[in-house]
Amino acid sequence: MTTARTSKRLSNPWPMPFNDVSTGHRQTARTQELATTRPKRKRRTPEEAREEILLAAEALILEDGPAELKFQSLADRSNVAVSNVYHHFGGVLEIKRGLAEKVFDELTRDLMTALGEEADNEPRIFARKVMSRVYSVLRSERYAKLIGWIVLSTELGELEGFTRPLPAMAALIAGHMGQHLPPDTSERLAQFIIYNVAIVAVGEGLVGPAIKTALTMDEAAAGGSLWLGDHWEELLARELEKAAS
């Protein structure tokens, strides 16, 4: 393996936005702290207790695997009595639904915040920054794994809520790009970006680390962001050219 050479030639030209520490990572740390360091039970509001239980459920899924999502483990981890876990949720399925809803809400907030912060840029910069922000939110191991868990949990029913923010995002991106491009081009590009960024980010967050290890690749050589960014630049440049002519 020629790791040193590889890393020089393929080093990521967009190191900053794509290597952002995403909100997701920080929340995992917070999850662990809340879920493991509390010495003994204390009085909580019903909302606090629910939140503790959902944080414990998330920590169990990410650290011990979804199979560990049981009342006793949740009670131990959240420091809430088993009877109280029953009181707040009634069943494991309700806890799963509660966690899925919480993840959807946070994901929507994170994605829309990221988009809003870039709205002042001119369209080419905007599109690039939006891509990198969406990418860094979705590729966080936390979101990638929780989305994977939700997709696999067919017992949750037709809960395809992790896609809930996507149409609004597509409309926001298309609207901004529509200032410089024909409406149908903007709409099509917005969908195309979101679709491709999302599948790369979730795939990378889920299986990227294991593949990197197996192929002894370094971080810089592996970044899906590199080729995605290059490709996107070329695609957008072509569309802007077409629109100008």
Q: Which of 112, 124, 129 is nearest to 181 (CA)?
A: 124
Q: Which of 57, 3, 1 is nearest to 31 (CA)?
A: 57
Sole binder of a copy of itself in the list 170, 172, 181, 236 (CB under 8 A): 170
Sole binder of a copy of itself in the list 74, 147, 172, 236 (CB under 8 A): 147
Tokens of 51: 């939140």
184 binds a copy of itself (CB under 8 A): yes
195 binds a copy of itself (CB under 8 A): yes
Sole binder of a copy of itself in the list 74, 95, 222, 236 (CB under 8 A): 222
Q: How far apart are CA 139 and CA 137, in angstroms?
A: 6
Applying CB under 8 A, the site for a copy of itself has a residue count of 64
Q: How far apart are CA 161 and CA 150, in angstroms?
A: 9
Binding to a copy of itself, residues 82-111 (CB under 8 A): 92
**Interface mask (CB under 8 A) for a copy of itself, residues 54-83, using x and -?**
-------x-xxxxxxx--------------
Residue 158 near residue 220 (C-beta atoms within 8 A): no
**Binding window for a copy of itself (CB under 8 A); candidates: 21-29, 44-52, 114-122, 196-204:** 196-204
What 3-state DSSP class applies to 226?
helix
